[in-house]
């Protein structure tokens, strides 16, 4: 028995609560002799194995083994605590619930809360009827129709409309016997300079309901050009924004069945997704999640997917919420919306298929953070890739799950044009046991990072030297390349200068004019001057053969293709339908396979001098 509720109250509730009446709200029961049978609400089955005994006040499933009394059923079906289940049954069957001395709310407080809950519920009904049954509600209905939200889903969430007048609700509540003080405590009335008026006027009303189905407050959206756009009930004895999730009451069973909760930002986002069949969705009501909200979700599932608006505010809120979820040992996921879209727009305009596509493409929060960091960084230069990798290391360091980190290594490798083994090596290099080791380890890791990430630049420069060593062969090769084949900006300038110089050759062996042009560039004051010096000096020595030039050309193309493919994939990550980009991605990937096949066929020992 509960240490808070008196045993007599528990027994009175059990005696009054009809177990068949309660369970019939969750599954269809058919009477067979002294018992009732039906499909089990706790697991999927096609043949009824769930049995209810009204005489004994018990239920049992011969399929999954779940069983107990009516309180146990409500605890499991609604994810309630024992006290919550007893209170809910007491309210439904008219049994007063008394607490032990010093435990639970006192009688006066209990009565006051009951009055406020009744007032808020009646207010929700008042607003709902005003929306659907009056001419004044037409503007709100037009807005809902414009947003593509139908009557069925709006009625399921008790959406309403508040009269655009100062005391419309107050007059009705006064007739029902409620006082101004009760209206104020419920957050429905504002008192100013001795006068009172309705808090919500001319607004589309969204009842804010707890996981037990009790109306605790309201969110009101204006239909005019006024601020605030959304007006919520003030914090009070019942309503505390950080302790509610909009839509959880309607979503609780779908969340438990899917073992996942999808978190969006706004009320209409929830309605839009539910309308297309996504039932396991709740809203954080436009803010980052709180510990209390995470705790509510944990009653139903350990898996959370964020689907926030694809803007800066949505991204920031998603990152904060995800970090909090991670702190509760959850593995948060992110469903990436197309740019400029919110979940409601996606659901209404694209239907179930568009939503399914977005949810199927969800990534881990870690993957989302890494994509954000890599998109912000300049990965076209070695220095930029070094800085980007430091962001990667910092983000990875916040995640305790080794498995989760390892899953994202291929992404980092692809975007930074490294091998997965190199990324793993760099990540391991950042953790040293002592301060002196940390300093030394950090310095060595930085050097290793720069060497690995700078290897692309080295290939480019070796290719340019090989081209200078083999000018006749290089003329055709350089003519088929573009500056974009070179990630390093200095290398691009040297490429352009070398191509211009070799174009001065009039025939085989006629190198003098070309190399005179290169020697003139060696005097450049910019950073490319020394690079032209290297071309001239190493060409004189004939360091690279034609075979080496061909191999380096293939490696240059491989680097360029990987860079282009990585940039395309980053573009496609935004969830938009980009048919032409997808076609180009396929072409580039096929070309990369061809280049790699040619590299594989090369004799690695051939051509080195």
Which pLDDT tens digit goes with each residue over 194-246? 899 999 999 999 999 998 899 999 999 999 888 899 999 999 889 999 989 99
Query: What's the pLDDT score for residue 108?
Result: 65
Residue 446, pLDDT score: 53
Distance CA 26, CA 75 (A): 13
pLDDT, tens digit, 9 for 90 and up, residues 66-79: 889 999 998 888 87
More confident residue, 547 or 2: 547
Say what the pLDDT of residue 439 is: 40
pLDDT value at residue 211: 85
User: Of the candidates 220, 301, 216, which has an alpha carbon nearest to the alpha carbon of residue 258?
Assistant: 301
pLDDT of residue 283: 96
Q: Tell me yes or no: is domain 7-93 CATH 1.10.760.10.
A: no
Q: In the sheet where 67-69 sits, what is the strand order?
A: 30-32, 35-38, 50-53, 58-61, 67-69
The model's pTM is: 0.67
* Residue 261 bridge partners (DSSP): 304
pLDDT given for residue 577 in this prediction: 62
Given this model, what pLDDT does residue 431 score?
41
Contact 544, 474 (CB under 8 A): no
H/E element, 441: helix 435-453
pLDDT at 605: 45
pLDDT for the residue 97: 86
Residue 472 has pLDDT above 80, yes or no: yes
The vertex-151 CA angle with 213 and 273, nearest 5°, equals 70
Residue 430 has pLDDT above 60, yes or no: no
Q: Where in the chain is the domain with CATH 1.10.860?
A: 456-601
Q: What is the structure's pLDDT at 609? A: 36
- Per DSSP, the residues of 369-390 read HHHHHHHHS-TTSHHHHHHHHH
Q: Which residues pair with 230 in a beta bridge?
A: 221
- pLDDT score, position 451: 57
HEC string of 261-284?
Answer: EEEECCHHHHHHHHHCCCCCEEEC
* DSSP summary character for residue 235: P
**CATH 3.90.580.10 domain span(s) along the chain:** 7-93
Phi, psi values for residue 222, rounded to 5°: -70, 150
- For domain 107-239, give the CATH number: 3.90.980.10
- Long-range contacts, stretch 516-523, CB < 8 angstroms, 24+ apart: 518/468, 521/497
The number of beta carbons lying within 10 Å of the beta carbon of residue 48 is: 19
CA 289 to chain centre: 13
* Tokens at 517, concatenated: 């042009």
Q: Which helix (H) or strand (E) holds 206?
A: strand 203-209
Query: pLDDT per residue over 400-420, tens digit each?
Result: 788 888 889 888 888 887 777
The answer to whether residues 245 and 292 touch, using CB atoms and an 8 Å cutoff, is no
How far from the centroid of its chain's Cα atoms is residue 283's Cα? 13
CA distance 389 to 450: 10
Separation of alpha carbons 305 and 310, rounded Å: 14
For the cut 50, the answer to whether the pLDDT of residue 434 exceeds it is no
Q: Please report, rounded to a whole number, the percentage of residues in the chain having pLDDT higher than 90.
A: 45
- From-to residues of CATH 3.40.1360.10 in the chain: 252-361
What token pair was written down for 29? 């029961």
Segment 553-604, tens digit of pLDDT: 999 999 889 888 877 877 776 556 678 888 889 999 999 999 999 888 775 4
CATH number listed for the domain at residues 456-601: 1.10.860
| Lowest-pLDDT choice from 48-62, 217-231, 365-379, 534-548 | 534-548
- What pLDDT does residue 452 have? 57
Instruction: Flag whether pLDDT at 442 surpasses 60.
Output: no
Mean pLDDT to the nearest integer, 286-300:
84
Q: What is the distance between the alpha carbons of residues 317 and 306, in angstroms, rounded to a whole number?
A: 10
Domain 252-361, second-level architecture = 3-Layer(aba) Sandwich (3.40)
Model confidence at 444, in pLDDT bands (50, 70, 90)? low
């Amino acid at each position: 028995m509960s240490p808070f509720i008196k045993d007599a109250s528990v027994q009175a509730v059990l005696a009054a609560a009809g177990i068949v009446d309660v369970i019939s709200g969750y599954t269809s029961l058919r009477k067979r002799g002294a018992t009732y049978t039906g499909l089990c609400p706790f697991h999927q089955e096609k043949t009824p194995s769930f049995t209810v005994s009204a005489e004994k006040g018990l239920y049992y499933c011969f399929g999954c083994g779940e069983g107990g009394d009516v309180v146990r059923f409500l605890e499991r079906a609604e994810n309630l605590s024992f006290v919550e289940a007893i209170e809910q049954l007491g309210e439904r069957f008219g049994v007063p619930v008394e607490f032990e001395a010093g435990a639970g709310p006192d009688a006066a407080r209990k009565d006051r809360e009951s009055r406020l809950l009744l007032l808020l519920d009646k207010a929700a009904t008042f607003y709902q009827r005003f929306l659907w049954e009056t001419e004044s509600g037409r503007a709100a209905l037009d807005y809902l129709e414009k947003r593509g939200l139908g009557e069925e889903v709006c009625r399921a969430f008790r959406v309403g409309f508040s009269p655009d007048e100062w005391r419309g609700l107050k007059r009705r509540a006064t007739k029902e016997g409620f006082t101004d003080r009760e209206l104020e405590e419920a957050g429905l009335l504002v008192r100013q300079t001795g006068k009172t008026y309705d808090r919500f006027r001319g607004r589309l009303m969204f009842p804010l309901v707890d996981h037990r189905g009790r109306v605790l407050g309201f969110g009101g959206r204006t239909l005019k050009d006024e601020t605030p756009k959304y007006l919520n009930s003030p914090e009070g004895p019942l309503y505390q924004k950080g302790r509610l999730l909009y839509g959880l009451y309607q979503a609780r069973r779908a969340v438990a069945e899917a073992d996942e909760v999808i978190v969006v930002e706004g009320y209409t986002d929830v309605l839009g997704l539910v309308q297309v069949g996504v039932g396991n969705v709740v809203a954080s009501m436009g803010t980052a999640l709180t510990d209390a909200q995470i705790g509510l979700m944990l009653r139903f599932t350990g898996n959370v997917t964020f689907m926030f608006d694809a803007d800066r505010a949505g991204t920031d809120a998603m990152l904060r919420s995800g970090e909090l979820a991670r702190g509760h040992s959850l593995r948060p996921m992110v469903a990436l919306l197309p740019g400029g879209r919110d979940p409601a727009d996606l659901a209404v305009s694209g239907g179930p298929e568009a939503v399914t596509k977005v949810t199927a493409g969800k990534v881990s929060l870690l993957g989302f953070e890494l994509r954000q960091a890599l998109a912000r960084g300049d990965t076209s230069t070695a220095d930029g890739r070094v800085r980007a990798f430091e962001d990667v290391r910092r983000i990875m360091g916040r995640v305790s799950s080794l498995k989760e980190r390892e899953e994202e290594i291929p992404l980092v490798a692809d975007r930074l044009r490294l091998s997965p083994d190199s990324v793993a090596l760099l990540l391991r290099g950042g953790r040293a046991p002592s301060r002196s080791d940390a300093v030394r380890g950090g310095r060595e890791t930085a050097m290793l990072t720069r060497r690995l990430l700078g290897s692309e630049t080295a290939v480019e420069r070796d290719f340019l030297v090989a081209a200078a060593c083999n000018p006749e062969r290089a003329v055709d090769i350089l003519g088929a390349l573009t500056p974009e084949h070179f990630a390093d900006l200095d290398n691009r300038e040297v490429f352009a200068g070398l191509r211009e110089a070799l174009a001065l050759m009039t025939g085989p062996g006629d190198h003098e004019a070309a190399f005179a042009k290169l020697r003139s560039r060696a005097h450049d004051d910019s950073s490319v001057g020394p690079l032209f010096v290297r071309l001239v000096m190493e060409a004189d020595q004939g360091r690279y053969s034609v075979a080496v030039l061909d191999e380096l050309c293939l490696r240059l193309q491989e680097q360029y293709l990987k860079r282009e493919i990585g940039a395309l994939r980053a573009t496609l990550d935004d969830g938009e339908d980009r048919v032409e980009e997808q076609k180009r991605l396929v072409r580039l990937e096929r070309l990369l396979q061809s280049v790699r096949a040619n590299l594989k066929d090369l004799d690695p020992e051939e051509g080195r001098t």
